[in-house]
């Protein structure tokens, strides 16, 4: 089993059963997971900011308004169809409570990611966003299972994945 770290601003897709896509310690950032159950393809973007700043499009995973499209394009190359894709969101916390406006990016990220998904007509199947706790997100390609884990807490399943469908 290979864990692939998806760090700030990065994105990754996979269709390899042994792969696990991971973003450790999401604070105000959003872990945007897109999945196509039928094709057993998933992608994870570590979104940092609500909107593209400047014209540098070399890190599309970093921005809420470019991440979903970048994931979709890469997932299509692995056999996914965008009409089947669902989303799971993790993160977007306000780590410092009522801190200065500069630190209130979490909520704005959440709103911006959801707006972009609505524009692309991608349903949000599950979300664990907001609050004040950091979280780690894991996407296991073997099962399609998506989990979120708060600091010092238990891993919790947000999305059962494709294995559940096969067994049903």
Q: Which is nearer to other proteins, 20 or 49 (CB)?
A: 49
Radius of gyration of the chain (CA): 15
Residue 124, helix vs strand vs coil: strand
Spatial distance between the Cα atoms of 66 and 70, rounded to a whole number of angstroms: 6
Options 37-45, 94-102, 137-145, 159-167: segment touching other proteins (CB under 8 A): 94-102
Mark whether 29 is an active-site residue. yes
- Of the candidates 21, 29, 42, 75, the residue annotated as catalytic is 29
95 binds other proteins per the rule CB under 8 A? yes
Question: Is residue 113 a contact residue for other proteins (CB under 8 A)?
Answer: no
3 near other proteins, rule: CB under 8 A: no
Side-by-side strand order, sheet with 30-36? 11-14, 41-47, 30-36, 86-91, 124-129
C-beta of residue 64 within 8 angstroms of C-beta of residue 53: no
* Smallest distance from other proteins to CB 108, Å: 10
Q: Are 38 and 84 in contact (CB under 8 A)?
A: yes
- What residues are annotated to the active site? 29
Under the rule (CB under 8 A), what is the footprint of other proteins?
7-10, 24-29, 48-49, 53-54, 56, 59, 62, 93, 95-97, 99-100, 102-103, 105-106, 132-136, 151-152
């Amino acid at each position: 089993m290979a864990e692939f770290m998806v760090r700030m601003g990065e994105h990754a897709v996979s269709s390899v059963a042994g792969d696990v896509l991971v973003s450790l310690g999401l604070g105000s950032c959003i872990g945007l997971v897109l999945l196509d159950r039928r094709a057993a393809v998933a992608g994870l973007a570590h979104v940092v900011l609500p909107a593209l700043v400047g014209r540098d499009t070399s890190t599309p995973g970093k921005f809420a308004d470019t991440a979903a499209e970048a994931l979709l394009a890469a997932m299509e190359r692995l056999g996914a169809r965008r009409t089947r894709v669902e989303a799971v969101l993790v993160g977007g916390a306000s780590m410092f409570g009522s801190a200065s406006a500069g630190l209130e990016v979490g909520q704005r990220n959440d709103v911006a990611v959801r707006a972009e998904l609505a524009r692309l007509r991608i349903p949000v199947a599950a979300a664990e966003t907001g609050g004040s706790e950091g979280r780690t997100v894991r996407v296991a390609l073997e099962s399609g299972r998506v989990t979120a884990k708060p600091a010092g807490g238990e891993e919790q399943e947000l999305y059962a994945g494709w294995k559940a469908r096969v067994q049903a």
